[in-house]
Structure 1
């Protein structure tokens, strides 16, 4: 499992892109800041194609809390590091069924256990 950096690509199940915003500035990998808990949560999602008003479908607009993917062993300033296994729900439809996950971690140099 790789650590996530600001260059990580997280997407909803429909292919919409999560807009990363990082909270820490202490640790970098190859000049790119490392993502920590709760960086993936509450972020906007752009480009989700799941929009069919007639069918009542709503696109994914925001990420919800992470369900899995924070390190149990490594933290930065008390915040667990985000791993390439990050997964959580979005606010898209149908409710409670649409996940966001890591498509690309943003780096391949640093790996860690869960």
Structure 2
């Protein structure tokens, strides 16, 4: 009941500003979307934790891209000390993520 009152208050304030109905409808749809999904620490969709899925895939993708850049540098013979340190620290960060995955995605 409280949410309905908030939405009516929202509509009333926007009607006083002379904003067209399509804009109000769009804003209401956006508000309803965020209220329906909620802004959660670990959002879920069909029983799958979205944060675990996307962050895990992103970390693995980042590691694969880094390894391919490293392989290209080795093939061309332009491997520098800064590239080695970058690869090492990124690898340690990604490894730390997979060891402490539950702590990383709960923030």
- Is the pair's TM-score, using the shorter chain for normalization, greater than 0.5? no
Higher normalized helix content (fraction of residues): 2
Greater RCO (Cα-Cα under 8 Å, separation 6 or more) = 1
Q: If the length of structure 2 is used for normalisation, what is the TM-score?
A: 0.24
Q: Which of the pair has more CA radius of gyration?
A: 2
TM-score by length of 1: 0.23
Looking at secondary structure, tell me which structure has more strand per residue.
1
